[in-house]
Amino acid sequence: MTPDPLNFAGMTLDTPRLMGVVNVTPDSFSDGGDFLDPQAAIDHGRKLVDDGAHILDIGGESTRPGSKPITLDEECARILPVIAGLSDLGVPISVDTRHADVMRRAIDAGATIVNDVTALTGDPESVGVCAEAGVDVVLMHMQGTPETMQDNPTYEDAALDIVDYMRERLDVLNAAGIGPNKICIDPGIGFGKTLDHNLRILSAVDAFHELGVPLLLGVSRKSFITKIDRDVPAKERVAGSIAAAIAGWDRGVQLFRVHDVAETRQALAVWQAIEEAEEL
């Protein structure tokens, strides 16, 4: 018997779900400065939903390699107007932050998902804030901090080490009252990983299914693509991003955090149609 598909944020995951990226920052690696103006970010979020995004992920602090932290007030000033301006679209709004106070204020503004690059370890109050609010959470793995994560990342086995780490995080959240039905995990491609680590994780991402929670993959426009093919600007890495997403879907990943929603949606739809035709 085929198991029932998992759910996350009120959605069944029997078809690929896309989390559209809205970076309200001056310095994100891919689109820093493009949507720093709140209205530009709101307009972009609306376009991503029109293109097929199922979730919008709003972030105000860059966590690219070597990035420096900003103040909480500055982060909130960037994202809160955007969250409020997109809260009427009928799709879940995710706040991409590692700070508990920003989480609180974003939830008050309309966010229903917390996406934390530190897997709720970066701020001692984060787990409590999410548990009390009853929001869904995305736990991402990062070795080190954005400032240091690419200095010398080391693993025995990148995929299995992160599975073990996520198992421990799930136990911590469950003890706090956040059950697996509220959690999605992201192995954190590019966050404290070499090219070999990234490729090992992507090739063995189905190992994460033993944890029993949905998987989110964030490979969009990341620099590992240039280490495989050739060095091109972030916005010219769409094809490589889509290739990695399809490999993830083929291995059971259900959600994809992407900049290029329309292109990714189309590619996954065609791949899925071909696979389903083979089953007739």
Q: Walk along the chain (280 residues) and give the pLDDT tens digit of each residue.
A: 345 779 999 999 999 999 999 999 875 555 555 677 899 999 999 999 999 999 999 999 988 777 778 899 999 999 999 999 999 999 999 999 999 999 999 999 999 999 999 999 999 999 999 999 999 999 999 997 887 788 888 999 999 999 999 999 999 999 999 999 999 999 999 999 999 999 999 999 999 999 999 999 999 999 999 999 999 999 999 999 999 999 999 999 999 999 999 999 999 999 999 988 966 5
**Residue 74 host element (H or E):** helix 72-86
Domains of the chain, CATH where assigned = 15-278 (3.20.20.20)
Question: Would you call 31 helix, strand, or coil by DSSP?
Answer: coil
> Which phi and psi (to 5°) does residue 213 adopt?
-130, 160
Report the C-alpha gap between 258 and 7 in whole angstroms.
Answer: 19
Question: Is residue 257 annotated as part of the catalytic site, yes or no?
Answer: yes
Question: pTM here?
Answer: 0.93
**Of 64, 200, 237, 257, which is the active-site residue?**
257
DSSP readout, 112-126?
-EEEETTTT-SSTTH
Question: Is residue 193 annotated as part of the catalytic site, yes or no?
Answer: no
**Of 222, 227, 235, 237, which is the active-site residue?**
222
Report the C-alpha gap between 187 and 260 in whole angstroms.
Answer: 20
